[in-house]
């Protein structure tokens, strides 16, 4: 059975949103690090890290295939962990984050899309993976 | 940055979103209408970029010039990328991507206006 590509159909939407976030986070991190790194080094390093994760997720989802799928799962997981950890820390200790990152306040500055995106990514990877396995019947049926 | 022009860009972007959303909901692949909407959007963005750079060179730009220029240039890339995708994905998800692209541009223009005026996060 042909493997269902993660970059096709509805996956295109996901890749598009990921691409925009890769672009936004990358550009933002580049500007922050180039112009005012000393002001909030932790926040800017995190911005850059977030950008790398978004680029990886975008590429992995777009390319598809077994290896890319693993990379995509890892990237989405790291992203989810990151947005939860940084979101919590930024609310608990605002002094440590004098300037916002994509993940501050659970992605509040970006309409909470950074929080929704990794979940959507993981759900999509899981669903396409089930299709990959073919006719595996789950006891609770399939909608 | 021209407020009138940025309003035009936002309106054009949202019209493209609405048009492509209808295409997607009707379960059609991208058609000439979607493509034309993206074309008009790209022209509006180019006009905005030209006006933006002219105003920047005349001084009196925002304090975060680099960020502003980044937005100005990044926005130019998005409609062609959306169109390319619509050509590749011959299903409802082609116009679906155009919906995402148009929304992203509308948000970016709002951010550019905030940066120019020195307001907002």
The CATH number, out of the four listed (3.40.50, 1.20.120, 2.40.30, 3.30.460), of the domain defined by the range B3-117: 1.20.120
Domain boundaries, chain A: 13-129
Q: What is the pTM of this model?
A: 0.85
Distance between CA atoms of B37 and B82, rounded to whole angstroms?
11
Distance between CA atoms of B12 and B18, rounded to whole angstroms?
10
Q: Is A26 on the interface with B (CB under 8 A)?
A: no
> CB–CB of A20 and B82 under 8 A?
no
Domain boundaries, chain B: 3-117
Nearest-Cα distance to chain B for A135, in Å, is 25
* pLDDT the model gives residue A38: 87
> Splitting chain B (121 residues) into consecutive groups of 10 residues, what average pLDDT does each group show?
90 97 96 96 96 88 85 93 92 95 95 83 45
Cα dihedral A40→A46→A48→A53 (10° resolution): -170
Distance between CA atoms of B11 and A75, rounded to whole angstroms?
35
Select from A9, A14, A20, A102 the residue whose CB has the most chain B CBs within 10 Å, as the one to mutate to test that interface.
Answer: A20
**Nearest in space to A125 (alpha carbons), one of A53, A66, A81, A85:** A66
* pLDDT the model gives residue A19: 92
Distance between CA atoms of A100 and B83, rounded to whole angstroms?
32
* pLDDT the model gives residue A109: 84
* pLDDT the model gives residue B120: 54
Contacting residues of B for A20, CB less than 8 Å apart: 78, 100-101, 104
Residues of chain A with pLDDT under 70: 1-3, 131-143
DSSP chain B: --HHHHHHHHHHHHHHHHHHHHHHHTT----HHHHHHHHHHHHHHHHHHHHHHHHHHTS---S-HHHHHHHHHHHHHHHHHHHHHHHH--STHHHHHHHHHHHHHHHHHHHHHHHHHT---
What percentage of chain B carries pLDDT values higher than 90? Answer: 74
Q: Is A34 on the interface with B (CB under 8 A)?
A: yes
């Amino acid at each position: 059975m042909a493997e269902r590509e993660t970059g096709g159909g509805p996956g295109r939407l996901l890749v598009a949103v990921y691409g925009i976030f890769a672009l936004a986070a990358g550009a933002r991190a580049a500007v922050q690090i180039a112009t005012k790194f000393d002001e909030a080094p932790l926040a800017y390093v995190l911005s850059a890290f977030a950008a790398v994760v978004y680029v990886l997720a975008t590429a992995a989802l777009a390319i598809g295939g077994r290896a890319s799928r693993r990379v995509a799962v890892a990237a989405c997981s790291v992203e989810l962990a990151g947005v939860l950890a940084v979101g919590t820390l930024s609310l608990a200790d605002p002094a440590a984050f004098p300037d916002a990152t994509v993940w501050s306040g659970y992605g509040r500055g970006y309409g909470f899309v950074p929080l929704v995106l990794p979940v959507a990514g993981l759900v999509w990877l899981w669903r396409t993976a089930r299709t990959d396995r073919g006719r595996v019947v789950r006891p609770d049926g399939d909608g | 940055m021209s407020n009138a022009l940025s309003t035009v860009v936002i309106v054009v972007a949202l019209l493209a979103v609405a048009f492509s959303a209808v295409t997607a909901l009707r379960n059609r692949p991208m058609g000439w209408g979607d493509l034309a909407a993206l074309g008009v959007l790209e022209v509006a963005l180019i006009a905005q970029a030209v006006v933006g750079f002219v105003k920047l060179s005349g001084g009196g730009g925002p304090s975060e010039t680099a960020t502003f220029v980044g937005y100005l240039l990044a926005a130019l890339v998005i409609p062609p990328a959306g169109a390319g995708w619509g050509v590749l994905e011959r299903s409802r998800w082609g116009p679906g991507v155009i919906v995402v692209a148009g929304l992203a541009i509308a948000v970016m223009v709002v951010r550019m206006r905030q940066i120019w005026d020195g307001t907002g996060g």
